[in-house]
Amino acid sequence: MLFKKLCVVVMLFLFTMSLSYAGQDDIVDFTLKDLSGKTHKLSDYRGKWVVVNYWATWCPPCLEEIPDLSDFHDKHKDKDAVVLGVNNEELPITKLTDFAESYLVSYPILPAPRDASADYMLGPVPALPTTYIVSPAGRVMARNVGPLTGEMIESFMKTACKDKTVEAC
């Protein structure tokens, strides 16, 4: 138990360190379809934080964070934040849908385009999982490489709003 708490503290520290990446001046956007064919535009979520998680089904750390990202999404989706999971592998939609159902993923899963277009990328994805946090105004505020928790995201949101580093908090 102590080891687990220590790991969370270390991860929170590392996440906070990587969050200093922050602050693009440009407003970002992309458009992707989810597993049921519904279109999701990043700009449709203006006014909320958007957690964009790049992941794959074969990635153990990605699978580890799914329950916590689902809990975070469920807790915040009707208030101030959403999670969008961008799947970075070539899987048939039926297999990806079965996977999402078996893992009880509650947030939208957006399969990455099969073409060479990188329009859906908010920045570099050096490893999976990589997560970007987009401000309510549509600016990339942070990037985390590796797994993260809802608690880490909430802490970042709270700090960013408290420090007035984000408009529209």
Q: Is residue 169 part of a domain?
A: no
Domains identified in the chain, total number? 1
The helix/strand count (H/E) of the chain reads as 4, 7
Q: How far is CA 72 from CA 50, 54, 96, 104, 131, in A?
A: 11, 16, 21, 13, 14
Q: Is residue 42 part of a domain?
A: yes
pLDDT tens figures, 75-85:
999 999 999 99
Enter the pTM of the model.
0.85
CATH code: domain of residue 123: 3.40.30.10
Q: Is pLDDT of 14 > 50?
A: no
The gap from C-alpha 141 to its chain's centroid, in whole angstroms, comes to 12
Boundaries of domain holding 118: 2-162
Q: Is residue 18 part of a domain?
A: yes
Q: Is residue 168 part of a domain?
A: no
Q: Is pLDDT of 17 > 60?
A: no
Q: Is pLDDT of 2 > 70?
A: no
User: In the structure encoding, which two tokens stand for residue 67, read together?
Assistant: 């329950």
pLDDT of residue 162: 84
Q: Is residue 114 part of a domain?
A: yes
* Residue of 59, 158, 53, 68 whose CA lies nearest to 109: 53
Q: Is residue 167 part of a domain?
A: no
Q: What is the mean pLDDT of the chain?
A: 86
- Burial class, 141, CB count within 10 angstroms (exposed 0-12 / middle 13-18 / buried 19+): buried
Q: Is residue 149 part of a domain?
A: yes
Q: How far is CA 107 from CA 20, 30, 35, in A?
A: 26, 17, 11
Q: Is residue 75 part of a domain?
A: yes
Q: Is pLDDT of 23 > 70?
A: no
